Amino acid sequence: MKKFSVKTIVAIGIGAALFFVLGRFVSIPSPVPNTTINLQYGLLAFMSVVYGPVAGALIGLIGHALIDFSWGWGIWWSWVIASAVYGALVGLSAKVFKMQENELGKKGLIKFNIAQVVGHIICWGVVAPVLDIVIYSEPLEKLFAQGLFAGISNAVTTAIVGTLLCIAYAAAKPKAGSLTKE
């Protein structure tokens, strides 16, 4: 079993806290009932890319559970699990665009955005609605309206917020050989 580094554990705590704050206090109301426009998925995608799929899953799980708990209506597990799956999926795709090796570039950003869009389609088009049916016996029309809106709005906000975070991270990392004396 792979052990987490202290850095990864701290990142999970900070990531979950930021996910909670963004989801609870910075969400934008939407025309679809019980659905908001969220910025926290850009942060989740970024953290998943940097710290991996397990960290991404835990950030999504803990952060989303805290958001639901803070509203007082109880935890809506189908969507909490979907957030965890999203973090894991984007974290798994991180090897494709190699942000850790300073190879982000335009192609890396395109790959990041393809991965995040596919993750949102899977999570909000399949995982959340299917779990809503299995766990809560929710009506299909409502589920797919919510899932469609959430998937599209989350993909758009992740494309903006997540891409900006990735660009800033890649720009802030020292380039290989940049600290050597010539």
DSSP secondary structure letters along 66-97: HHHHHHTS---HHHHHHHHHHHHHHHHHHHHH
**To the nearest 5 percent, what fractions of the chain are helix, strand and coil?**
75, 0, 20
Let me know if residue 177 belongs to a domain: no
**Domain residues for 47?**
6-172
Residue type present at position 83 = S
Q: How many structural domains compose the chain?
A: 1
Let me know if residue 144 belongs to a domain: yes
How high does pLDDT run on average in the chain? Answer: 91
Smallest CA-to-CA distance from 136 within 77, 60, 74 is with 77
Output the pLDDT for position 6: 95
Let me know if residue 1 belongs to a domain: no
Let me know if residue 135 belongs to a domain: yes
Say whether pLDDT at 78 is over 70: yes
Question: CA-to-CA distance for 89 and 14, rounded, in angstroms?
Answer: 20
Output the pLDDT for position 149: 95
Output the pLDDT for position 63: 98
Rg of the chain's alpha carbons, rounded to an integer?
A: 17
Let me know if residue 72 belongs to a domain: yes
In which band, very low, low, confident or very high, does the pLDDT at 3 lie, cut at 50, 70 and 90?
confident
DSSP SS3 for 4 = coil
Say whether pLDDT at 123 is over 70: yes
Average pLDDT over residues 2-30: 94
**Residue 122 belongs to a domain with what CATH number?**
1.10.1760.20
Let me know if residue 93 belongs to a domain: yes
Predicted structure pTM score: 0.91
- Structure tokens that stand for 111 in this block: 């790959």
Dihedral sign of CA atoms 10, 171, 94, 149 in order: positive
Let me know if residue 160 belongs to a domain: yes
- Structure tokens that stand for 163 in this block: 């891409």
Average pLDDT over residues 20-45: 94
Say whether pLDDT at 97 is over 80: no
Let me know if residue 179 belongs to a domain: no
